[in-house]
Structure 1
Amino acid sequence: MSRSPKTGLSPDQVETFITDGFLKLPDAFDSTLARDCRTALWAEIGLSPDRPETWAEPVIRVGWMSAPPFVAAANTPPLHAAYDSLAGHGRWQRPDGLGTFPIRFPSDVSPGDDGWHIDASFGTDIPDFMEWRANILSRDRALLMLFLLSDTGADDAPTRIRKGSHAVIARELLPHGEAGATLRQLSADGYASSAGCDTVFATGAAGTVYLCHPFLVHAAQPHRGTAPRFMAQPPLRPAGAFDPALPPSPVQIAIRRACGLP
């Protein structure tokens, strides 16, 4: 079955997400929007694409951006349909922008942030980010999303993804219940429990979006290419708390399947 902006994802695409923990959507937003976002980000960091001699750091991070190009990129009809397909119709909040942005530059220097991890979803007001938490209900996060704002090939520091690792993390979170586990607890073994998963690289043309399960283990890597890589990694926020009375979304089905729950 084919996908359209109005009908959302095909059953095969949904099953891929449930099984692999992510889905690649090429042409999720227009390349001109990607260009406009890059222009705004160059201005935000005070650097120029025409002066590579000034690219002194391997990575520069920018927080949230809510200018019109960022809002538009996050809210295209194909993406809204995909959000409905994966998080559940009416069960997610309309993004009001994009962020954060790890802008990666060609460098022989280690970026220092390339370890395997998952993104926490609650308790993020605590100064020590290793105490931030995730729980089996994926509280406060419906999806992790990777928006490629520049063409990203194998040498351009594409995010590394451990395919199927969301199932491993779901089983580790289950005993912790609604209280969840901290990133310190989850990373105690360096995410060795997911080391047997195949590694996939988040490559693609500008305008590609990877829609990822919140428990997906992923990592940055050094940039060995020539042009800076621009990407946003925002969450998709749920519209409310987990409601067992509603039919399970594909995000929830993946958790239940991993844990052997009905």
Structure 2
Amino acid sequence: MSEDHDTGLSAAQVTSFIEDGYVRLDRAFDTALAAQCRAALWQATGLSPDAPETWNEPVIRIGSMASPAFVEAANTPRLHLSYDQLAGKGRWLAPRGIGTFPIRFPSPQPAGDDGWHVDVSFGLENPDFLEWRVNVKSTGRLLLMLFLFSDVGERDAPTIIRAGSHAVIARQLLPHGEAGLSLRTLSADGYASTAACPEVEATGPAGTVYLCHPFLVHRAQPHRGTTPRFMAQPPLLPVGEFDPALPPSPVQIAIRRACGLSF
């Protein structure tokens, strides 16, 4: 669900986030700021927008970018208000940068990274990333965020999300408590339990941000267009551990509602 006002999210959008697991925030940051960030990312790739003959890889990954333009893009008043509305005021850390950036180029070559997945959030010290974990409290992550730094149309490798899949994953995680599940275990069936969920492509003009529930199942897809896609997928990090004494945020309400728990 998109929004078109110079404010945060409407009550209807918050409800949509709880039910669908994501909300699209238009004009979350300025297009001129997006252009500054793209220029820095081009420099980081070592490639040029004027030399498509050198775009030989389907995807180039850039880690975290923490220059002022990226920090500003992640911390606009509109985004801060939306973070408050979804994650809870005072419960999140202001981003000090943005990353990672899977920059996708038009290419007939498979990138090999387009499987369905959930972004796990703790146990990251394990050298085997398939043992990284997620639990029903979503320890270590409040939101998955998709920042569009270029215009992204249907042919420009938009991320595909399964609307409502966050509720399915919450129910799978509930019996496993604090320990949660590893990425290896959670992905063993290819997320077949979410196959019936409607698929939505995260398209939009530069400056659009998709704020997603941390359990949302999503995947990449090949770039079939002509212009490289610049997108980042940072987390929104929590200030501390889940505090049951605080009123539940929409992120937590979605989990409790999916699991049939009282509020």
TM-score w.r.t. the length of structure 1 is 0.98
**TM superposition shift of 1:176:** 0.6
> Are the aligned partners of 2:4 and 2:26 in contact in 1 as well (CA < 8 Å)?
no
Letter in 1 for 2:14: V
Q: 1:2 to 1:233 in 2, by over 3 A?
A: closer
Residue 47 of structure 1 aligns to a residue in which SS?
A: coil
Q: 1:3 to 1:88 in 2, by over 3 A?
A: farther
Residue 79 of structure 2 aligns to a residue in which SS?
A: helix
Letter in 2 for 1:10: S
Letter in 2 for 1:91: R
Q: Distance in 2 between matches of 1:115 and 1:95?
A: 27
Q: Distance in 1 between matches of 2:6 and 2:89?
A: 16
> Which position in structure 1 is the counterpart of 2:238?
238
Q: Distance in 2 between matches of 1:117 and 1:167?
A: 14
Q: Distance in 1 between matches of 2:90 and 2:9?
A: 16
Q: Is 1:70 aligned to residue 70 of structure 2?
A: yes
> Which position in structure 2 is the counterpart of 1:42?
42
| CA-based RMSD | 1.1
> Which position in structure 2 is the counterpart of 1:125?
125
**TM superposition shift of 1:192:** 0.4
Residue 83 of structure 2 aligns to a residue in which SS?
A: helix
Extract unaligned runs of 5+ from structure 2.
Answer: none
Residue 85 of structure 2 aligns to a residue in which SS?
A: helix
> Which position in structure 2 is the counterpart of 1:212?
212
Q: Which runs of 4+ in 1 moved over 2 A?
A: 1-5
**TM superposition shift of 1:127:** 1.1
> Which position in structure 2 is the counterpart of 1:91?
91
Deviations 1:84-141 (A, max 9, x none): 0000000000000100000000001111000000000001111111100000001010
**TM superposition shift of 1:3:** 5.6
> Which position in structure 2 is the counterpart of 1:114?
114
Q: Distance in 1 between matches of 2:5 and 2:15?
A: 14
> Are the aligned partners of 1:2 and 1:10 in contact in 2 as well (CA < 8 Å)?
no
> Are the aligned partners of 1:3 and 1:10 in contact in 2 as well (CA < 8 Å)?
no
Aligned length: 260
1:185-224 equivalence runs, <5 A = 185-224=185-224
**TM superposition shift of 1:2:** 8.8
Residue 221 of structure 1 aligns to a residue in which SS?
A: coil
**TM superposition shift of 1:208:** 0.1
Q: Distance in 2 between matches of 1:33 and 1:203?
A: 18
Q: Distance in 2 between matches of 1:152 and 1:2?
A: 18
Q: 1:147 to 1:2 in 2, by over 3 A?
A: closer
**TM superposition shift of 1:254:** 0.1
1:140-155 equivalence runs, <5 A = 140-155=140-155
Q: 1:85 to 1:53 in 2, by over 3 A?
A: same
> Are the aligned partners of 2:17 and 2:212 in contact in 1 as well (CA < 8 Å)?
yes
> Which position in structure 2 is the counterpart of 1:258?
258
Residue 170 of structure 1 aligns to a residue in which SS?
A: helix
**TM superposition shift of 1:4:** 4.7
Letter in 2 for 1:103: I
Q: 1:169 to 1:90 in 2, by over 3 A?
A: same
TM-score w.r.t. the length of structure 2 is 0.97
> Which position in structure 2 is the counterpart of 1:14?
14
Q: 1:176 to 1:128 in 2, by over 3 A?
A: same
Extract unaligned runs of 5+ from structure 1.
Answer: none
Q: Distance in 1 between matches of 2:87 and 2:240?
A: 11
Deviations 1:203-254 (A, max 9, x none): 0000000000000000000000000000000000011100000000000000
Letter in 2 for 1:149: F
Residue 258 of structure 2 aligns to a residue in which SS?
A: helix
Q: Is 1:104 aligned to residue 95 of structure 2?
A: no
State the percentage of identical aligned residues.
70
> Which position in structure 2 is the counterpart of 1:173?
173
